[in-house]
């Protein structure tokens, strides 16, 4: 079997509600890149990457040129066993892991289809029937965020990510965390996420003010050293996100003592191949894991759910149904949340089949 063609679509995904984060960052409509890798055996694989440039060093308009540059390596190559081809891809093009992520996902999809197995069977075996989700709450007025949390809890959600810092008001952030905790009661997991947008001083003040509310902090500052200082000053557990992208960064966070939990995101690391290696390192180091991606629709969500489902339940904190936050849905039959949990797709490979009408016309055909 050989790769004969790469087909690329650019699909705008619109959040159901504008998604406000620290530093004036807003996620409203963003471009997702869908990739279909076609083979000479009429088996195709799907990949997706949806970069948010102000969130991580990734640019949607950079994916197509990267794939065109990789065409001499990909076209004519054997897609089975993704890591072999991805190793050659990494040698041909340094960095640009977000663009490589879409290709890696598509190779895994093909491999699963050829093996006639769902990807979780190839990534470690199914460890969980349904994976716990978290509800991410856009940074708006504190009382409105509490209402959102209460509504999500009524639908079965038991983990809540509270976005902070959109108005540069540390006292408002204290209110956000306090009101959400009071809305959902003691027991559910509540954590406040600045997406690197807080200073060490601001994050420490917030942490000390809510120290009795059983709150976890997520990536308050731009560096691991600052995050470690906030954790030491507040005594609150911490989740690392933006700074966790490869083995070196995970080991550094572990050594600094600030990685009680960690977000492993496919496109942040370069796809399923790389993220699986980080998952396995975390099984050794000990942090609880959120296995997800930066943003996206049904293909990205389907892929990450397979990796989450193949991870021991004792080590999974949660996952994310990215496709549930945006429109359009690319596959109306793809998994959806129910009772605060979600199952991976059924069928071989990723198990997601995008609707051609939702995709529209391809942006490029590379052969």
Positions marked catalytic:
163, 265
**8 A C-beta contact, residue 146 and residue 172:** no
How many CB atoms neighbour CB 211 within 10 A?
A: 12
Tell me which DSSP letter residue 133 carries.
B
Who contacts 91 (Cβ-Cβ below 8 Å, separation ≥6)? none
d(CA 137, CA 46): 29
- How far is Cα 350 from Cα 300, in angstroms, rounded to an integer? 9
Identify the DSSP state of 93.
S
Q: Give the integer Cα–Cα distance in Å for 218 and 233.
A: 15
| Residues forming beta bridges with residue 278, ordered by sequence position | none
255 contacts: CB under 8 Å, gap ≥ 6: none
DSSP class of residue 325 equals: G
What does the alpha-carbon distance between residue 143 and residue 111 come to, in Å, rounded to a whole number?
48
Helix residue ranges, H only, 41-197: 63-74, 82-92, 97-115, 119-122, 142-154, 170-184
Of residues 4, 6, 5, the one with CA closest to residue 63: 6
Q: How many other β-carbons are positioned within 10 Å of the β-carbon of residue 28?
A: 11
C-alpha–C-alpha distance, residues 52 and 132, integer Å: 25
Task: State how beta strands 3-20 and 364-366 pair.
Answer: antiparallel
CA dihedral 337, 281, 303, 51 (to 10 degrees): 90
């Amino acid at each position: 079997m050989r790769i004969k063609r790469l087909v690329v679509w650019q699909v705008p995904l619109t959040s159901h509600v504008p998604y406000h984060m620290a530093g004036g960052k807003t996620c409203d409509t963003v471009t997702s890149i869908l990739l279909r890798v076609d083979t000479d055996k009429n088996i195709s694989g799907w990949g997706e990457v949806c970069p948010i440039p102000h969130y991580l060093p990734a640019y949607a308009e950079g994916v197509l040129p990267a794939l065109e540059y990789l065409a001499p390596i990909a076209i004519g190559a054997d897609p089975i066993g993704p890591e072999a081809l991805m190793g050659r891809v990494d040698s041909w093009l340094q960095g640009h892991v977000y663009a490589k992520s879409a290709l890696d996902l598509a190779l895994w999809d093909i491999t699963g289809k050829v093996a006639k197995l769902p990807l979780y069977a190839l990534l470690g075996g199914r460890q969980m029937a349904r994976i716990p989700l978290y509800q991410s709450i856009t940074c708006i007025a504190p009382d409105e965020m509490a209402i959102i949390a209460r509504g999500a809890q009524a639908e079965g959600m038991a983990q809540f990510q509270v976005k902070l810092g959109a108005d540069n008001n540390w006292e408002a952030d204290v209110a956000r965390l306090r009101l959400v905790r009071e809305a959902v009661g003691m027991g559910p997991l509540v954590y406040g996420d600045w997406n690197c947008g807080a200073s060490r001083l601001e994050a420490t003040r917030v942490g000390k003010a809510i120290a009795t509310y059983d709150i976890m902090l997520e990536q308050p500052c731009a560096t691991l050293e600052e995050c470690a200082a906030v954790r030491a000053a507040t005594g609150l557990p911490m989740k690392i996100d933006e700074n966790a992208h490869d083995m070196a960064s995970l080991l550094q966070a572990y050594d600094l003592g600030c990685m009680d939990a960690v977000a492993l995101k496919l496109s942040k690391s370069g796809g399923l191949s790389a993220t699986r290696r980080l998952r396995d390192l975390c099984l050794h180091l000990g942090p609880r894991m959120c296995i997800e991606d930066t943003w996206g629709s049904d293909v990205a969500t389907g892929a990450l759910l397979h990796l989450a489902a193949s991870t021991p339940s004792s080590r999974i904190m949660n996952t994310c149904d990215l496709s549930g936050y945006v429109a359009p849905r690319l596959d109306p039959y793809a998994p959806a949340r129910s009772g605060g949990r979600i199952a991976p797709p059924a069928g071989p490979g990723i198990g997601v089949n995008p609707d051609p009408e939702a995709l529209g016309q391809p942006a490029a055909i590379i052969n």
